[in-house]
Chains A and B, each alone.
With several copies, the nearest count.
Chain A
Amino acid sequence: MKNPGIELFKDGKRLDGRKVDELRPIKIEAGVLERADGSAYLEWGANKVLVAVYGPKECLPRHLSDPYKAVLTYRYNMAPFSVDDRKRPGPDRRSTEISKISAEALEKVVLLEQFPNSMIKVFCEVLQADAGTRCASLTAASVALADAGIPMRDLVASCAAGKAGGEVILDLGKKEDNFGEADVPIAITPHDEEIVLFQMDGALSKEEFQKAVSLAKQGCKTIHEIQKAALKKRFEQVKPPIKAVKTEIKKSEVSK
């Protein structure tokens, strides 16, 4: 947010040719992993994010379990090769913060009270990072939760708006993020438009701030449509044969 000297607009358009209220291309695919109970793969601009969901299952270690509801854990992680300078593996302060607020956003929609003493685990891997990875991860995570068949009140759709080159814009690209004036990532529950994730840094007047939040909400609604389409496509698919074997064995267990 420190170098407003860099040109972020050319001929009234953004560096990548987008309009101020235009999202980068987004692609979501549900059910991409074998072992996980639910999964989703998302491309958003050059971001590539993979999410796996496990659970609900027994909460271990047990002293973390809650007799009233399932515990939801969220791990946002960047692969070492996802950024230009290799990132040391393991959580850092930034990823810990993102994991915390993302978990809180999902807790609003997942029907945790249906699974006391259980645990639902969400694992997000950022494979290639290109600004907006927290929004991309959270968007993919709610698709993966739905793919796992976990009951939810609503999806969570996430998107950022911000200010760059003096303009309030939707979905900041990498240079807009690095050299822009402000970033406002939010997430909403699309049906009632409640804000479940909200952060801001930079500098915005009240008017700009209102405009940015409004723009980000619009972005979230568009993303919600893409989420629904991905899930629709997934539920139309025939389950792969190996999954069938799994089910059989489960049956034999029950009959024991």
Chain B
Amino acid sequence: MSSEEIKWEVKSDYIHALAQKGIRQDNRKTDEYRKIQITPNYIPHAPGSALVKIGATQVLVGVSMGVGTPYPDSQASGVLMTGCELVPMASPSFESGPPRPPAIELARVVDRGIRESNSIDFDKLCITEGEAVWMVMIDLHILDYAGNLFDAAELASIAALYNTKMPKYEDGKVIREETSGKLPLLKKPIECTFVKIGNMIMLDPMLEEEKSLDARITLATTEDSSLCAAQKGGNGSFTEKEIMDTFDIAVEKGKDLRKLI
């Protein structure tokens, strides 16, 4: 066992002990976010981008625009692709190389939140039916991992989409120097992630809480208070009631966060 692992074991005992008393290491309420900072257009050269900090967690998202062929089953719709690199700078436990399961899960949950909420107006991204459509490529770049990547990545993605400029497209070529307007958007899905430690369920886990979790749940909701994506993680479980309770909090917090974008 490495000293790193021993350290986390000790921390985890401490977090569990606190949870039994109903308190969090930084004295936050169970439904309270850490300080959130959004810097839209952080990469001005990119069509869209945003840097989001939740506490010490930092996620940078860039949106690239390309033109490609549509999927065979939706010939008149644009294409969304969401990639994620857990860049090794962000944590001593991240490694170089192809995305591993946690990075893939993160990218897919963020992608589902955007896709299933119809956040992007894909029909308006068709250039020539069956031949050419716009491809929206979201890249999640995790810079500093201090817990709750899901919410930071989704928030940064939505913020980045909401400042994305469409390049011009003329004579079969993308002209990156010129802009043809904003990306057509319909909704702002907001993800809220909770962890369960012992019997306590808390919003926006910091790193120490994530390392100590029994189970994790992420709920993405839209303006009309409906659920558009959800994902449970961890080897613990939730009761039906617990899930319904997090739903209500997610809808409320979603309203607050939506205003920040």
Partner-B contacts on A (CB < 8 A) = 1-2, 33-36, 39, 46, 48, 50-52, 54, 57-58, 67, 75, 77, 79-82, 84, 86, 89-91, 93-94, 96-97, 99-101, 104-105, 107-108, 121, 123, 125, 127-130, 184, 189, 193-206, 209-210, 213-214, 217, 242, 245, 249-250, 252-253, 256
Contacts and interface: CB of A to CB of B under 8 A. Distances in A.
B225 A206 contact: yes
A96 B64 CA distance: 24
A125 B49 contact: no
7 contacts: A77-B87, A89-B83, A96-B104, A125-B141, A130-B45, A203-B117, A205-B227
Given A200-B230, A202-B116, A205-B225, A80 B64 contact: yes
Interface size class of B (residues with CB under 8 A): 35 or more
A242 B56 CA distance: 9
B200 interface: no
Given A67-B1, A75-B96, A125-B141, A198 B239 contact: no
The 5 closest A-B pairs by CB, nearest first: A81-B62, A52-B89, A107-B235, A198-B232, A194-B237
A217 B217 CA distance: 18
Nearest to A77: B87
B181 interface: no
Which of A81, A100, A202, A245 neighbours the largest number of chain B CB atoms within 10 Å of its CB? A81
Contacts of A213: 240, 243
Interface of B: 1-3, 6-7, 10-11, 14, 25, 42-46, 49, 56, 58, 60, 62-64, 66, 74, 77, 83, 85, 87-92, 96, 98-99, 101-102, 104-105, 107-108, 112, 115-117, 137, 139, 141, 143-146, 176, 217, 222, 225-240, 243-244, 247-248, 251
Given A35-B144, A250-B7, A108 B101 contact: no
B150 to A, nearest CB: 13
A143 B176 CA distance: 34
Contacts of B217: 198
Contacts, number: 192
B240 A217 contact: yes
Contacts of A90: 98
Contacts of A67: 1
Contacts of B247: 206, 209
A93 B107 contact: yes
A54 B56 contact: no
Given A81-B43, A100-B101, A195 B243 contact: yes
Given A80-B83, A213-B240, A213-B243, A33 B58 contact: yes
A198 B236 CA distance: 11
Contacts of A210: 244
Given A36-B89, A86-B137, A201-B116, A128 B104 contact: no
Given A1-B116, A96-B104, A123-B88, A108 B236 contact: yes
